[in-house]
Structure 1
Amino acid sequence: MWRPVVLLGSALLLLTAGCTASTPDKTPTTPPTGMFTSTTPPASALTWVIGRTALAGLRDAGMSSGQLSELFNNSRTYIVGNSASTAESANISDWTSRQSVTVTDLRPAGITGAAAAVLYDVEDWSLTPKAQQQNPAKYEAEGYRLARARGVVFIAAPAMDLVRVLDPSGSGSVTQRFLNLDLIGQAARYADVVDIQAQGLEGGAQYTSFVTAAAQQARAENPDVKVLAGLSTNPSGHTISAQVLEADANSVRGVVDGYWLNIPASGKACPTCGTAKPQVAVPWLDQLLSG
């Protein structure tokens, strides 16, 4: 089945994570020590976060309903969208006062139902309250508690740009400072699923090394957590080829449990994202289906 998600810590859209963080620096991330090994999951076992608009875009780009269903119509897929209740649940504090959370079930058929998960996307931007930026672990713990009380999955996605808030005068690369702060490990402590928002690193070796190191931190804190890697067809409006997207995804396939696939377009959350480019993801998704 398709599983809807309420988005917390940011307002409205799937597009939010597609533009996270500033342009990455090119300082190499320190490789993890004691590298773990993992079995590459088959496509049928991948966990996904994806938006309703992204699904529609993939269909417009030529993917059939059967292909989309084979990849995403399962209990491991969480679909993000914008609805009235999503807008009302813009942050943890707002959500605390709500007795129940319902969103539109974002299947193409438009069926409505209760949320299966909440996604806490905390970033250095106006859509996350400053108090939450300054102490993400506290609010991740609170979000997890509230999710448990409602019987839904809690997905945490701390952005790399939090280093600007938590380590403003630090030296070294953004990626290394993020790892030094153990932000993904802290998130994993309180989450069922964590997303490593690495899409701004696409197109270089740093993507693979950073996702691998962050995944290791997450599992060191919580061996049961599901780890996703962020991918975008056009992160912050940058041009990414289909070959680059496929290569980056495949480079961490044995490290993560799945992906948050972003197909962003310009909007309030990402004014620089430009036109959505679902066609960039199609060759990779075809490869998954044929593999």
Structure 2
Amino acid sequence: MIWLFAGSAITKLALAAGGAALLSGPLNSPQTWISGRSPDAPPLATRLASTANVNRLSRLPSGAVVVDLENWPQTPVSQRENPVGAYRRAAEIAEYRHQWLVATPATDLVRSVDPSYRGKIYPEFVRLRLAARIAAYVPVYEIQAQGAENNPTLYRSFVADISRQVQQAHPGITILAGLSTNPGGHVVAASVLGRDIALTKGLVSGYWMNIPQAGKACPRCGQAYPEIAVQVLDAELTDSQR
């Protein structure tokens, strides 16, 4: 199973009880993908660059790049309004730069695609088929489902819907799903995250484990909870080694 982390999450894990043992043990593997820098990154991990702006791809080196387009200031308005076109352009740049892309489009892009929309985000994201239209251009697609993780039934349903769209649009694509210890500042128990994984591990090839804290990207996230991630990872990695 692939585990994707931001570099900042790796640093938080290293400081949490039990985290260093995971990083020097089962997470010291090419199946651990790290987006961004961390002095605590396991030596065998796969390193990825990251950007929230397609225009910056031309400044990044060859190799893996996370392209994280969201309805936030880090992503230019034109790319928020037309994320499919933005990822198409990203694929063109990536081919020239010998990059391979991990697309992580946020579900809140439905608000920038249609500013008049006031309904629920997940059904609209499915209806617009943004995932299918983006997946055609990338080798890896991450489903930002972490906002639903406190409701495992909804989490599983959304991951299943998007996974189906993505596979139909791009057979053989690698699919990841998002998890978070505290999405939007709401702490989620390790047992709930474990349930989310149990319901979806047959649908995806791995997970992006987010360990957010308050900052420019997420002002409402509050403090970080790496100990929750350690509990989840310890359970999953121990189980996979049996």
CA distance in 1: counterparts of 2:2 and 2:30, whole angstroms:
9
Question: If the length of structure 2 is used for normalisation, what is the TM-score?
Answer: 0.86
Q: Tell me how large the CA RMSD over aligned residues is.
A: 2.1
Q: 1:272 to 1:148 in 2, by over 3 A?
A: same
Q: CA deviation at 1:117?
A: 1.1
- Give unmatched runs, 5+ long, in structure 1: 1-45, 103-114
Q: Which letter maps to 1:211? A: V
Q: How does 1:37-52 map to 2 (within 5 A)?
A: 46-52=1-7
Q: Match for 1:59 among 14, 29, 33?
A: 14
Q: Which letter maps to 1:268? A: K
- Which residue is equivalent to 2:204? 256
- Partner of 2:222, secondary structure, is coil
Q: Match for 2:124 among 170, 177, 196?
A: 177
- Which residue is equivalent to 2:98? 151
Given that residues 70 and 109 in structure 2 are in contact (C-alpha distance below 8 angstroms), is that contact kept between their aligned partners in structure 1?
A: yes
Question: If the length of structure 1 is used for normalisation, what is the TM-score?
Answer: 0.73
CA distance in 2: counterparts of 1:90 and 1:255, whole angstroms:
26
- Partner of 1:158, secondary structure, is coil
- Which residue is equivalent to 1:239? 187
Given that residues 13 and 20 in structure 2 are in contact (C-alpha distance below 8 angstroms), is that contact kept between their aligned partners in structure 1?
A: no
Number of residue pairs matched?
228
- Which residue is equivalent to 2:35? 80
Given that residues 236 and 270 in structure 1 are in contact (C-alpha distance below 8 angstroms), is that contact kept between their aligned partners in structure 2?
A: yes
CA distance in 2: counterparts of 1:90 and 1:252, whole angstroms:
27
- Give unmatched runs, 5+ long, in structure 2: 39-48
- Partner of 2:108, secondary structure, is helix
Given that residues 16 and 226 in structure 2 are in contact (C-alpha distance below 8 angstroms), is that contact kept between their aligned partners in structure 1?
A: yes
CA distance in 2: counterparts of 1:281 and 1:201, whole angstroms:
17
- Partner of 2:84, secondary structure, is helix
CA distance in 1: counterparts of 2:3 and 2:139, whole angstroms:
13
- Which residue is equivalent to 1:110? none
Q: 1:123 to 1:168 in 2, by over 3 A?
A: same
Identity %: 40
- Which residue is equivalent to 2:42? none
CA-to-aligned-CA distance 1:161-210 (integer Å, 9 cap, x gap):
11112233447532111001111111211111111111111111211100
- Partner of 1:48, secondary structure, is strand
- Which residue is equivalent to 1:91? 53
CA-to-aligned-CA distance 1:39-72 (integer Å, 9 cap, x gap):
xxxxxxx122202221222222222545224443
CA distance in 2: counterparts of 1:171 and 1:52, whole angstroms:
34
- Which residue is equivalent to 1:126? 73
CA distance in 1: counterparts of 2:215 and 2:167, whole angstroms:
34
- Which residue is equivalent to 2:164? 216
Q: Match for 1:288 among 231, 236, 240?
A: 236
Given that residues 52 and 68 in structure 2 are in contact (C-alpha distance below 8 angstroms), is that contact kept between their aligned partners in structure 1?
A: no
CA-to-aligned-CA distance 1:8-28 (integer Å, 9 cap, x gap):
xxxxxxxxxxxxxxxxxxxxx
Bigger RCO of structures 1 and 2 (CA < 8 A, at least 6 apart): 1
- Which residue is equivalent to 2:225? 277
Q: CA deviation at 1:236?
A: 0.9
CA-to-aligned-CA distance 1:110-147 (integer Å, 9 cap, x gap):
xxxxx631111111111110100111111111212222
- Partner of 2:125, secondary structure, is helix
CA distance in 1: counterparts of 2:100 and 2:37, whole angstroms:
18
CA distance in 1: counterparts of 2:100 and 2:161, whole angstroms:
24
CA distance in 2: counterparts of 1:279 and 1:222, whole angstroms:
36
Given that residues 8 and 37 in structure 2 are in contact (C-alpha distance below 8 angstroms), is that contact kept between their aligned partners in structure 1?
A: no
- Large movers: runs of 4+ above 4 Å: none
Q: Match for 2:135 among 188, 193, 198?
A: 188
Given that residues 246 and 283 in structure 1 are in contact (C-alpha distance below 8 angstroms), is that contact kept between their aligned partners in structure 2?
A: no
Q: Match for 1:117 among 44, 64, 72?
A: 64
Q: Which letter maps to 2:142? A: D
Given that residues 181 and 225 in structure 2 are in contact (C-alpha distance below 8 angstroms), is that contact kept between their aligned partners in structure 1?
A: yes
Q: Which letter maps to 1:92? A: V
Q: Match for 2:177 among 213, 219, 229?
A: 229
